[in-house]
Structure 1
Amino acid sequence: MEQRLSGPVAEGERIAVLDMLRGFALLGIFLINVEWFARPLQDMIAGVGPGEGLDGQVGALVYLLVQGKFWVLFSLLFGMGFALMHQRAEAAGRPFIGLYLRRSLLLALFGLVHIAFVWTGDVLFTYALASLGLLAFLPVRGPALWLAGLGLYVAVPLLSLLGGLALGLLPASALAPVQEDMRALAAAGQAAAAVYREGDFLAVSAQRWAEYFGWIFPQATLYHLPMALGCFLIGAWLLRSGRLADLSAQRGFFLALAIGGGLAGGALLALGASLGLRFDPVAEFPRASLASGLMMLGNLPLSLAYLALFLLLASLPGPRRLLGFLAPAGRMALTNYLAQTLLCSLVFYGYGLGVFDAMGRTAQLGFVVLVFTAQLLFSHAWLARFRFGPLEWLWRAGTYLRLPPLRR
């Protein structure tokens, strides 16, 4: 009995709707990530990427409805997973912190390997660091948990808004240092694009490592880490509240969350979009910073609205059966996420097909649909024979310090 309790959760004890949600979030994250394999990350402050006609329309729709929302959704799910893991450890009467630290360390190692050999847009390393902050909130219960999470999340876009407003009030001459920084960032992006487009594996790997720790990691520490921890806390509160235990009984709550989140997030999104969708970071940095802050503020309520709508559908028998097709991909989210980025690196970078800036947003959308459909089919076939995805199995083995059975 003790051996079972100290190992991974049994399949029958999983919360199926969380696996469905992970599969849904995985698709949204792929829709965003694919663009940043074809465009330097330094260009992110510029908003929607260049494109005419259908490419421009697809880019704008993904920017407005997907970008930032599914990263937040996946972060909420991470917090739910933490709370569930802690609850089950408490119920089993087994130590939790040591096990959780091993889990976070392994996630950090996955992230570092991912950064070094695949992609600088990795989120795993940031998640691993932010996950340590969750331990400080273990004694916190009730509304204080989501209030702390909201405060951590909102602080970042508010700083962006205040910065944009302050810069907008300065005379043009005072903006010269900021504009010089933006010129340097744009030049770095052009240089990075050339390496990713034409470089061999060693050149691209060197670029990834230097880019991540020279620029991306400091930005992630200041911005993404507190936002991620804030989302983790909100997700943990939602799981601990018991509202996922009986979706049918909680339809009123989720309907209110969908309407409230949709209205608040939609209003902030519209306000941000009114400032523009595409910016020249050098000449329009204050305006771009304002738009970015509004978009980030709107991402959380819209993500909660997406989550609530998904759960409302999952509370109905017919839609739940359809959404259940996403569950195996969600159960293998780590394997599928890393497989997506590995495939993208082989398609877009110079050591692969080298189509870094040659695939428009419409073609990228088709690529995502094709690959994700294949992943859904593969996930179903794999889990019909095995208990875990390959990387999920490795993660669990390192976390619990024993090899869980893999084959069914």
Structure 2
Amino acid sequence: MPRRHRVGDVDVLRGFALLGILLANAPAMAGPHMGPGGELSASWTDAVAGWTITTLVSAKFYLLFSFLFGYSFTLQRASAERAGAPFAPRHLRRLTGLFLLGVAHAVLLFPGDVLVTYAVLSLVLFGVRDIAPRTAVRAAACLVAGVAACLLTWGLLTVALAEPGPGQDVTAAVHEVAASYRGDFGSVVHINLERWGGALGWNLLYGADMLAAFLVGLAAGRRELLAQTDRYRAWMVQIVVCALPLGLAGSAFMAVCRKGPLDARWYDVGSAVGVLTAPALTAAYACGLLLLLRTRSGSRIAGVLASAGRLALTHYLTQSLVMALVFTGYGLAWYGRFGVATLMAGCLVLYAVQLAYSGWLLRRFRYGPVEWLLRTATLARRP
């Protein structure tokens, strides 16, 4: 059987996206900062850090991962064809493996899991696998517009009908969640299940946004764009120049609605604008990184990021495991103990360790442990 082909830029972008996913997920796992007396508190540095993360990170990197998932679908299909193996059973086994990993991840570690959503949406992706690239992009645009319209409608109703200011029971609810996460194993699993179920409606809505990114990735994979990026250098420069200001403006407005100075009633209005403009900022990030890595000093950085990207699933789950050990009763039970600025510093340290570990592991093994497990399930044999 021919050796499986890899597209280096897919791994590079996946390795880069791991940092954004970590920065976005960490505040949800660590909880809002509570002062010595148990009151909710945030220093000005935490406020600036939270505003910055919302502007530059939130809602951008799950789109990049979703795009790469759709692109990788085309690579997996081509791999099956080269091996002379039917693709449908392979794909079904792969998404079943993803689904089971996602359920375990959501129940035991982090209810904000995306693997279950990816597994379900993979069925849709398989159903439209032969869609024309232009049709896929148009369908993606309609999905994004639909999600934004739903959020905007709900947000405007909230602004018009809800009372200004925070709800009366916010602090009590935060303390209840903190007590659960600082409790024993059963307490942590119970609150994870409760929050996972409570987010089902929002997961369905944002699942449409992920599906849109899947479809764009599928279209790009059909055109082999990331296998021929040098041909599109001028096009990538134009995307950075045009998309970056638009994406930053929309994301800044989202931060104003989510983090202030506008109050919490504006949260979903900001989210609607964020959904519409996040693809522009995500595309600018991706193109800007690929252009940067084609400079004289970029090849070494590309190698480091590509190594991390090859272990993306292992790293994604490891990030949740580390944070669960730090912030829940599984380990230190430090839920709510740290502000956003301290948390972000810790995330950068963890990401640096993962980058170093990736190179060390891949010098000794071809796959990461979770990648090996999923590939075993996909092929129904040992790789």
TM-score normalised over the length of structure 2: 0.91
* Partner in structure 1 of residue 286 of structure 2: 307
Q: Over residues 234-268 of structure 1, what are the superposed CA-to-partner deviations in whole Å (9 max), with x where a residue is unaligned?
A: 11112222322222221011112222321321232
- State the Cα distance separating 1:26 from its structure 2 match: 0.3
Query: AA paired with 1:246?
Result: Q
From 11, 15, 19, the equivalent of 2:7 is 15
Is residue 356 from structure 1 mapped to residue 335 from structure 2 by the alignment? yes
Does 1:237 find its partner at 2:225?
no
Q: Which amino acid aligns with 1:261?
A: A
Contact map agreement 1:72 1:231 (CA 8 A) in 2: yes
Change (3 A) 1:228 1:187: farther
Does the 8 Å CA contact 2:30/2:323 hold for their aligned counterparts? no
**1:56 aligned to 2:47?**
yes
Letter of the 1:37 counterpart: M
- Matched-pair contact (CA < 8 Å) for 1:129–1:225: no
**Among candidates 248, 253, 263, match of residue 230 of structure 2:** 248
1:33 alignment counterpart = 25
Q: Which amino acid aligns with 1:208?
A: N
Q: Distance in 1 between matches of 2:13 and 2:124?
A: 24
- Specify which of 184, 188, 202 is matched with residue 219 of structure 1: 202
Please give the root-mean-square deviation of Cα atoms over the aligned residues, in Å.
Answer: 2.4
Is the CA contact 1:334–1:391 (under 8 Å) kept in the aligned structure 2?
A: yes
Contact kept? 1:154, 1:227, Cα under 8 Å: no
Is residue 112–residue 125 contact of structure 1 (8 Å, CA) maintained in 2?
Answer: yes
| SS of residue in 2 equivalent to 1:244 | helix
Q: d(CA) in 2 for partners of 1:153 and 1:127?
A: 17
Q: Which runs of 4+ in 1 moved over 6 A?
A: 182-186
Aligned CA distance change for structure 1 residues 145 and 315 (closer, same or farther; 3 Å): farther
Q: Distance in 1 between matches of 2:295 and 2:338?
A: 39
Which stretches in structure 1 are left out of the alignment for 5+ residues? 41-48
Provide Cα deviations, 1:248-296, integer angstroms capped at 9, x if missing partner. 2210111122223213212322443454623787xx42x2221121122
In structure 2, the partner of 1:118 is: 109
Q: Distance in 1 between matches of 2:261 and 2:155?
A: 13
Instruction: Write out per-residue CA displacement over residues 149-195 of structure 1, whole angstroms, 9 at most, x where no aligned residue.
Output: 22222311221112223444x5x4xx48x999x76788655422321
1:191 pairs with 2:164: no
| Residue number among 307, 323, 332 corresponding to 2:302 in the alignment | 323
2:67 counterpart (76, 79, 89): 76
| Distance change in 2, residues 1:187/1:130 (3 Å) | farther
SS in 1 for 2:225: coil
Partner of 1:102: 93
Task: Write the distance in 1 (CA, Å) between the matches of 2:172 and 2:221.
Answer: 45
Does residue 208 (structure 1) correspond to residue 200 (structure 2)? The answer is no
CA contact (8 A) 1:17 1:314 kept: no
Does the CA-based 8 Å contact 1:264-1:298 persist in structure 2? yes
Equivalent residue pairs, number: 376
The yes-or-no answer on 1:376 pairing with 2:367 is no
CA contact (8 A) 1:247 1:315 kept: no
- Opposite residue 85 of structure 1, the aligned amino acid is Q
**C-alpha separation between the residues in 2 aligned to 1:91 and 1:199?**
51
Q: 1:233 to 1:268 in 2, by over 3 A?
A: same
1:100-148 superposed Cα distances (whole Å, 9 cap, x missing partner) = 1110010000001111211111111111111111012112122111111
**Separation in structure 2 between the aligned mates of residue 94 and residue 152 of structure 1, nearest angstrom:** 33
2: distance between equivalents of 1:118 and 1:266? 32
8 Å Cα contact 1:157-1:297 kept in structure 2:
yes
Q: Deviations over 1:337-361 (max 9, x none)?
A: 1111001001011332111111111
Percent identity, aligned pairs only?
33
Q: Which residue of 1 aligns with 2:369?
A: 390
